């Protein structure tokens, strides 16, 4: 299971790197063309925008597993150990329910938009809006993978933890 988790996290990280590289190349090429020829690529801004949307949704799970999202822990810190575990369990359950709801809503929205196309790329909006349900599904998977250590000890899986090979990201210290 650890090996499968490692491959999942690594693949997620490499897909983010590929999207960032693609966005960088498209925007860089557009800038170079604009200044060297006076013309720009009509689809460059749209492509960069949609890649950014996909990066935000698909990268949220990697940030979640390392504890990178905003958290206010005043209530948790004021509770005894058993209360902290119960609260963290309730948080995980609440997040799973919210993420599941967002997958459902995202699928509905993407299906409604499948017949509209983007202005420059002429790409069905289904592919743009699919980032939402896929991103929230990734969030659910990442949350389930870190749920036990988070609930029991309040720990997240960190990329620099040598005891946790599954948290290794591409290009990290353990990569």
Assigned domain for 163 exists: yes
Assigned domain for 74 exists: yes
Q: Are 156 and 79 in contact (CB under 8 A)?
A: no
Instruction: Cite the DSSP H helix spans in 66-80.
Output: 74-78
Assigned domain for 78 exists: yes
| Share of residues in the chain with pLDDT > 70 (%) | 90
Residues 102-140: tens digit of each pLDDT: 999 999 999 999 999 999 999 999 999 999 999 999 999
Assigned domain for 12 exists: yes
Instruction: Cite the DSSP H helix spans in the chain.
Output: 2-37, 44-65, 74-78, 81-112, 125-129, 131-153
Domain count across the chain: 1
Full-model pTM: 0.86
Which value, in Å, is the radius of gyration of the alpha carbons in the chain? Answer: 20
Assigned domain for 99 exists: yes
Assigned domain for 86 exists: yes
User: Which band of pLDDT confidence, cut at 50, 70 and 90, is reported for residue 167?
Assistant: very low
Tokens of 48: 């960069």
Closest CA to 131 of 63, 62, 56, 46: 56
Domain extent, residue 154, equals: 2-167
Q: Please give the mean pLDDT across all residues of the chain.
A: 90
Residues 35-67: tens digit of each pLDDT: 999 999 999 999 999 999 999 999 999 999 988
Assigned domain for 175 exists: no
Per-residue confidence (pLDDT) for residue 85, from 0 to 100:
95
Q: Are 12 and 58 in contact (CB under 8 A)?
A: yes
Assigned domain for 87 exists: yes
Residues 6+ apart with CB under 8 A from 84: 76, 154
Per-residue confidence (pLDDT) for residue 164, from 0 to 100:
54
Tokens of 100: 């599941």
Q: Does the pLDDT value for residue 165 go beyond 50? A: no
């Amino acid at each position: 299971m650890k090996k499968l988790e490692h491959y999942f996290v690594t693949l997620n990280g490499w897909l983010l790197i590929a999207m960032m590289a693609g966005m960088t190349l498209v925007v860089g090429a557009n800038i170079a063309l604009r200044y060297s020829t006076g013309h720009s690529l009509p689809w460059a801004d749209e492509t960069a925008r949609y890649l950014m949307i996909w990066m935000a949704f698909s990268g949220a799970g990697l940030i979640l597993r390392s504890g990178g999202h905003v958290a206010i822990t005043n209530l948790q810190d004021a509770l005894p150990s058993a209360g902290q575990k119960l609260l963290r369990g309730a948080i995980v359950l609440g997040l799973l329910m919210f993420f599941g709801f967002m997958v459902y809503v995202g699928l509905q929205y993407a299906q409604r938009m499948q017949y509209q196309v983007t202005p420059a790329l002429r790409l069905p909006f289904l592919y743009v809006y699919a980032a939402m349900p896929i991103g929230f599904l990734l969030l659910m998977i990442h949350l389930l993978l870190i749920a036990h250590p988070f609930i029991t000890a309040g720990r997240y899986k960190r990329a620099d933890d040598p005891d946790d090979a599954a948290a290794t990201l591409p290009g990290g210290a353990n990569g």
